[in-house]
Amino acid sequence: MAVRIALGLEYDGTRFAGWQSQAHGNTVQDALENALGRIAGAVVRTACAGRTDAGVHAAAQVVHFDTPVERPLNAWVRGVNSHLPDTVAVRWAREVPAEFHARFSAVSRSYRYVLHNHAVRPALLAGRAGWFHLPLDLEAMRAGAACLVGEHDFTAFRAAECQAKSPVKTLHRAEVTRQGDCFVFEFRANAFLHHMVRNMVGALVFVGKGKHPPEWIAALLEGRNRTLAAPTFSPAGLYLHGIEYEPRWQLPMNGRIIAPFDLPLP
């Protein structure tokens, strides 16, 4: 009889071609399934809470898989980690009911984008934070972000190759703060479209540098025209920061970001 296991995962996506398995094998899913297979002694297939693009990181990815073999939970953590690259780590493992699904049982997802705002690009933050060289207006970006909160058609922030059935999503949180030379963008929604976060950050940067007023964000939502919005921003500073589930699943949520700059860890 198969057992369903949920895992909490963190990874640095800099050198990966995203989450989803590909023929060349250079994805987080490929690395994880290979390591799980070593412990299970059989092929293991996983499903994740949120697919991340190439170069995007995860502080709190959640996956599940089914296995017919019995192993102590620690084997799915330390054992699997011994077969993973240094930039991927399983943080916890739990046995869950068969009806649990990492993606479909999720109530919301949270992303954090870290943007280094300085005239000169940083070296130590390469791949770990986005970068923009012109001064940015925090209050203008906050006003623009407020326009994004609520249920909207996010077509203007949707990638052309997005496969979601509907562009309508509910954004529960859109906040911008500043910590030293870094701006931190926080988003929480029931679900996100392909490139949605990076496109929202790009639009807010346009507002921050004075190219458009904050109400331009509302106009983009209303217009539903991707070609009128800002270019897709770099993946470097984007982190899948947390997945929310109902308490009944009893999953430990420990999203965190470890980075060489001074950000408080959740």
Catalytic (active site) residue 53: yes
Q: Six-digit token pair at 246?
A: 């109902």
Q: Rounded distance, CA 38 to CA 80, Å? A: 8
Which DSSP string corresponds to 121-178? Answer: --STTTTTSEEE-S---HHHHHHHHHTT-EEEE-GGG--TT---S-SEEEEEEEEEEE
Beta-sheet pairing, 108-117 with 130-132: parallel
| Choice among 12, 30, 53, 66 that is catalytic | 53
Residue 120: count other Cβ atoms within 10 Å of its Cβ.
Answer: 8
Which DSSP string corresponds to 72-86? Answer: -GGGGTHHHHTTS-T
What secondary structure letter does DSSP report for 103?
T
Which are the catalytic amino acids? 53
